[in-house]
Every structure is written in structure tokens, then in C-alpha cells.
Structure 1
């Protein structure tokens, strides 16, 4: 995203505050932390302390100020997040978000998902998020593929012991290497390697686990939400509908989208969430790009790769 001017950041942050107020209560800790973090990490508005200094930005104000289409689209994403930070999808806040999006003439699949979920069609919304995640992981249409079959492809005759051994060999690399860190991560979490009948498809599992290693986020509900948000910043295909919304519903709302993991509640860290988004956007490499191969990098020093790929350190656990 291009540099954002003070007038632009003012109206975006002011609109975020207006969405928070639309919940019919005083601004919560999650609201306050989110607005400050979005200001600091994504809009480069450092030192914002008193949210009362922000303008009460109405939809017409955003239309007047946000002339850049890409920035307007980004702003609506931030507003949509504000409808969810407190642990549920707030209907009053979502209504306010839609007022801004309509004024800016922005339609998006993630907004459709939120409207459907708010209308009680949660099964449809979560199925759509799951499918959009699948499209994103593949970096193409998933038409004709069953994601529930694709995600675990090594059962029965498809088991690949040679592939398992290739991953096992990473454990013999020096401790400082990316490959050894990936091996450690999978072993510590009890994840079978691709090729094992119980393993996830390498096209997803290896990219996802590599992103955990590079980003430094763990496998708690908080960590999984953060690593997918980091992925959304890094990987341009369906970032909201395929990565951010699913993990908010899965790890913050407690909606079980699939059988790959266990849902959790309250996983959204309202400061580090926005930091993870910015960190992913600053990456110079996309680990979910089909052209990226883990095998090109396993022997490299992990810290050197983080420096090369512009991976800044994560924040501290709150």
C-alpha cells in the first residue's frame, strides 16, 4: 500500500471509531487497541493516544478524501474488522460498515460472507470462506476438487515414504538452518510429514508451517489467527475471505469450519493482529506462491532469511 497522508489516515481511523461506537456501547479495550494498532502499523500514524481527537468521519467524508480506489478498498477491510474485534459479529457495527462500503461503491466477497453470517446463514458463510481459502492456497480456481479430499492426499496407496524421509532428513541439518527449524516445529507440535497417510497436503501444510517458522507465531488460537493474518498480508489471493475472516470465525468466534484443527474463542490479539498484517505485507517473498519451494531454502540460516525477506520481529504476547 502506498504512503497514506494525514488527512486520509484521519478519516479512516475516524470511521473505524464510528464503527466501534455503532455497537451501542462505550468503546472497548479491543476497539481502542485495534484503532491505535492500525494507526501505528498500517497507516504509519505513530503516537495516536486520544481517540477523541479523531474526526467523526461519515461515509461522505470518506468519499471526499479517499480518491485512491485501492486505499478505499483497504479502508473498508479495516472497518469490517472493527465489527468483529470484540468476539462476535456485531450487527449494529456491520450495518455501519455497509454504509461506508456502499458510499464508496465497494463490493467484496468478504462483505457478502459477513452479511450472510449476520442473517443467520452461518453454514453458507463458513463454507464460502473455506472454499475461498482453498482457492487462495491453490492460487487458482478449485473447481472440480473436493477440499476435504485434497487436504489429506496420502492415504492408502498414495502414501509416500520417500517424501516422509526427505522431511525427516531436515532434522540432520545444523540447528541454525530454516530446514532444522521447520523440522523442530513439526516434531514439537506432533505434525506428521507430507507423505504420511495422516499428513496435510504439502502444498498447504509446508507453506503454512514455514510461515509459522518465519513469522515466529505459535500454534495457539492466538498464534494461528496471527499466522493467517500474516499470510493475508503476504499472499494477495483472497486475503480477507480466504484467510482473515476464516480464522476470526474459527479462533475468535469458535465456529468449527473444518476438521483440520480445533476451534477456539477469544484468539484475536487486538494489537498484534494489525502488526501481523503489516509484517506480512512487508515480506518480499510469498511462501504460498506456487513457484516458491521450501527445498530451495532449507539449508539457509533462518535469521539471514528473515533479514533477506524483510521479516521484522513479532510483538510480545499481551
Structure 2
């Protein structure tokens, strides 16, 4: 394990409308009682921990969990970000900034999933090997603190294909958001109530989730995906995915359906940006953006 950074500090902002299509009620919205109840359940759950290490990516779920854990447990809570080629530089910077702004105890650890053949093979269980690498990296910190490791899993995640949950169960990790009965919508509502800027943050899974199952996950392919998505966001497409197919030579661009006409208008710029990132071909998915689209390939994998 290599601890490479830590951060601290404070302040906050509010969110109203989620750019990936989720409406985030304002603090004075009609769901105030339900939001307060959800926050109370989460607080009560966290109070039962002696110490907690939060696996913190900076997304809406882990940011709320890290913030709440710090508020309840103080110095007995630590947010830990796993750093590897699958973490986009922009996401790493955003996680650091959130931790500084809100005074979280925060460290980064280097994880070695990219060096594990089972992970690089990119089978249906890739996430299992990724989470295993995370738990191996944080184990010394957890032992030193006498802490459990907590993941930002919410209730909605339980119905998805997430092999990492098996690794979490094997290592005795906890999921306070699940135990508090919080869905993704509830996480966003509570975050808005608390004034967290992540309330409206679009989902940003790891870069490896963009690579077609069965194609090897390599630092070069991840770099292409990261660069292409950064270029699309710079063009004004904050919600986008660049899925890598055919060994990382073909990029399949997904944006929300309402944005497809604009992508078409900018097709020459989009094509140049994606190919400039290292892809040979650029295609546009006419079905529009949807989380987890590559899971449609799971039935085609060797059993």
C-alpha cells in the first residue's frame, strides 16, 4: 500500500436538478420529513461503529457517507480514495476538493488491480478483483484504527450486477446507506439538505466499466476513454460515456437522447476529439445514455 496524499477543510453548496435526469429536491421541498428520517437512520447506524474507513470515490454516495461519518465519528472516521489507472484525474481532483472543503480526514492509497491478471482479463467478475485490491490496500489502515471498512452502496445497487459486493461480504465490510434504507434518490435528497455539492453530481463509475467485457483492461485503453470523455464534457456534454470495443479501437459514444441532435450537429468535432484520444473509429449509440449498458454482454461471456 502507498499512501500518497491527505487533505482537509470546509464549506458547501446546494444542488437542485441532477444532470443525469434525477430531480434533487431543495432543502425546503415537500420531502423534508422523509429526508430528515433518512438522515436520522444513517446517523444512528454510524453511531454504532467504533471507527470507520469509508471507501471514498467522491461520488454522491461515498461523499455523503464520508461526510456523515466525519460528522458522527470525528477523528474515528477516515475517507480513503483508491488511486489506480481506472480513476479519472478529474474525479480524483474532485474527491480531494470535496474533502478539503468539508474538513474530512482523507488519504489516497495506491491499489494494484491493474497488475492482477484476473482483473485485466475483464471477465464478469472484474469488479470482484478490483474491490479485493481495495480491501488489501486499506487493510493496514483498518487494523491500525481498529476500523471497519464501509462502502457507499445504496439500496438501488443491490439489484445490479456488482461482483464487488461479494468481495465486500468476504472481507466483513459494511454498507451503512443500505442499512439505513437509502436509495440513490434519498442519497441525493439528503445531500441537498446538507448542502453538499455532490447532490446533483452525475454518476461516474470507474473507467474500466467502459471496456467491453472480454477485452483486456489496459492503462492505454483507460487513458483513451478518459481523454475522450473529458473532450466531450468540454464540448458541453456533462453526462456521457465512451464505451471501448474491439480491443480499444472502436469508441461507442453515449449521451442522453435529448442531446443526440446536438452531438450530430457537432459530429466532426466529436469524431476528431474521440479519434484524437487514440480510438480508430467513433460511433454514436442512437439509444442514448444508460448506466450499465455493457452488462447486456454478460450472457455472451463463457460460463
Normalization by structure 2: what TM-score?
0.28
**Larger % of strand: which?**
2
Higher RCO, 1 or 2 (CA under 8 Å, sep at least 6)? 2
Normalization by structure 1: what TM-score?
0.27
Larger Rg: 1
**Larger % of helix: which?**
1
